Amino acid sequence: MFNHASFIWGAADILRGTYKQHQYGDVILPFTVLFRLDAVLAPTKEDVLEAIGPTYVDAEPPLAMIRNRTKQAGNEHTYNFFNRSRHTLKTLQGDPDNLEENLRDYVNAFSENVREIFQKYEFEQTISGLAQHDLLLQVLQHFTKANLHPDAVSNEQMGHIFEELIRKFAEASNETAGEHFTPREVIDLMVTLLLHDDEELTTPGIGRDVYDPTAGTGGMLSAAENKIKQFNSEAWVNLLGQEINPASYAICKADMVVKGQPIDNIVLGNTLTNPAFENRTFHYCLSNPPFGVDWKQHRKAVETEHQIAGFAGRFGPGLPRVSDGSLLFLMHLISTMREPSATEENQSAGRAAIVLNGSPLFTGGAGSGESNIRKWVLDNDYLEAIIGLPTDMFYNTGISTYVWVLSKDKAPERRGKVQLIDATGMFVKMRKSVGSKRKELSKENIDKIAGIYRDFTESKHSKIFRTEDFFYRTITVERPLRLNFAFTAERIERVMASKPVAKLPDDDAAALRSALHTRSQRAAGEVSTNKSAFTSELLEVLAEAGLQVKPAVQKAIVTELSERDENGALQTNRVKDPEPDPTLRDTENVPWGQDIHEYLEREVKPFVPDAWIDESKTKEGAEIPFTRHFYEYVPPRPLEEIDRDLDEVLGRIRARLEEVKR
């Protein structure tokens, strides 16, 4: 795999000096696709030309007719595309004087579904640029040395080649390669978990739709098809996906065309704002959305769907913070999972697997968008399991990642429950790191993780919880406000700086300041704990100064002349209930099954007897503290052992100092 990729990337030596590093991929990737398609079509070339004949000189021949004629001619493989040029990429090199024109004609001779791929690459401009710099023949000659025929390079190997080329392209461009593809062993694990317990999958001729809303180069779709075919070689698999990156989209579409998939199954576009397969659901859904990517530029469209469509749309449960759109992809994926059907055959409920970082597990407190989304997922019993993967598994990041396994119809023993699997220590080290990827899952690792999932029992690496175990309530604990009141210089300055007082006419403000300072000198630092009496005293001060102020101004003056005082007067509202002190306000997370008032009596009031709960502020939340459930306490070493080690170290230091003195 990597020998092919390295050789192909060697075309960069031809481009160096004429093209900048970040432009290499724009040339190398489409030429790789072109030579792959040329190699795939080689065995059927003559039969296709014969089938087209003179009848379709100015018209596009029907694909069905081409497939039938090539099949009748005894070809083992037939495809949903063709090339009507008499040339191959090798033969057109025999006419270097007309190479540019012939190559352009060759590309335009592809069926319409393939021409669109090269249009996304803006390949005509690439041909012109290479020809202008006398590099076109050299590039063609270089690629001709790479045998990309399916007999030499399988579809799976070709996928690896594309991904390695994209990684090299991303490194040269300073981009994030991990946004385009997922390590194949992680995909293998995800697909293995998805296919678990699908009893219908062994049925001859069974059909399965597989969908990836962040398709990249199509690695997840290809792996899913291969795995399903291993289970049942007679199954038909429909692969569908959407991809936002044009280069990845073109590679994915080319790969799917070669596999014989319908050309409309792969769509270029933004899944969040313009989903390609609305009102359609699938048997299996897979996704590796970009980690921690904000959705600010798509905010208007997403918020509009949330507000107008509500739960009839994709984002009814809530919206995450704009800095991380991972949970938007999770909700989208759930919306595309097939609903269970008790009456129709081959209508198994949808299952999904999605790779996320740690943030969606716990980010956002009760009442936040993230928490509401998690609670909705758990309330609807969609979440089967979460598998914690080792760090350093992905090409662009070393952070912790997690596979969420989802189902629209859980097995009876899993209903109302969630399994957490700690696979963070299950890996083998790579001989040579690739980007940030230093670890990988071996077949044994995948089998072990799948076995833990399948067994569905408690163990060191497996914890099983009820869905409500992840729920909690956040209560707001209030304590009473106690104040004292005084006319002091510092408090008077606060009065004058307050907004209501600052709006007074200059003369009134000056009169107020003078009156307050006069009373301050007379009071000589006297402090009151009686708000009513102090308010009456203030009214006297205002009357003596000839000032009449609105109630809002009066309230602001009293507020600024007060300070918190644990021994001060208890402040009450109109119905004589204590007023809360905002500075003493606190929150507590109460486990779902506990009564909030019993919790207050047991956990709070022994320390603050005057506390109470403001029930109007109670919020429901959900979080999945994955790491906490697998934490193993390691007691510190005995002090005697630590002292002994320190003495040994100090002894060595003293010995070396003595040697220096000598």
638: which DSSP letter? P
pLDDT in tens, 438-477: 999 999 999 999 999 999 999 999 999 999 999 999 999 9
pLDDT for residue 186: 93
Is the pLDDT assigned to residue 284 strictly greater than 60? yes
Question: Residue 551 burial (CB < 10 Å; 0-12/13-18/19+)?
Answer: exposed
Q: What is the pTM of this model?
A: 0.82
User: CA–CA separation, 243 vs 406, rounded Å?
Assistant: 22
CA atoms within a 13 Å half-sphere pointing along the CA-CB vector of 208: 32
Is the pLDDT assigned to residue 180 strictly greater than 70? no
383-388 and 417-422 beta bridge pairing = parallel
Where does the pLDDT of residue 367 fall: very low under 50, low under 70, confident under 90, or very high at 90 and above? very high
Strand (E) or helix (H) holding 140: helix 136-144
CATH superfamily of the domain spanning 177-473: Vaccinia Virus protein VP39 (3.40.50.150)
pLDDT for residue 346: 47
pLDDT in tens, 187-215: 999 999 998 877 788 888 888 999 999 99
Task: Give every CB contact of residue 88 below 8 A, 6+ residues apart in sequence.
Answer: 38, 42, 45
pLDDT in tens, 138-159: 999 999 998 888 888 887 788 7
Where does the pLDDT of residue 177 fall: very low under 50, low under 70, confident under 90, or very high at 90 and above? very low
pLDDT for residue 344: 53
More confident residue, 79 or 432: 432
Task: Give every CB contact of residue 471 below 8 A, 6+ residues apart in sequence.
Answer: 375, 378, 592, 620, 621, 622
CA Rg value for the chain: 35
Instruction: Name which of 413, 369, 404 is nearest 386 in CA terms.
Output: 404
pLDDT for residue 343: 44
pLDDT for residue 600: 96
pLDDT in tens, 564-603: 998 888 988 888 889 999 999 999 999 999 999 999 999 9
Residue pair 492/513 in contact by the 8 Å Cβ criterion? yes
Task: Give every CB contact of residue 436 below 8 A, 6+ residues apart in sequence.
Answer: 178, 392, 394, 395, 396, 397, 398
pLDDT for residue 155: 78
pLDDT in tens, 80-101: 788 888 899 999 998 999 999 9
The percentage of residues in the chain with a pLDDT greater than 90, rounded to a whole number, is: 54
Is the pLDDT assigned to residue 32 strictly greater than 50? yes
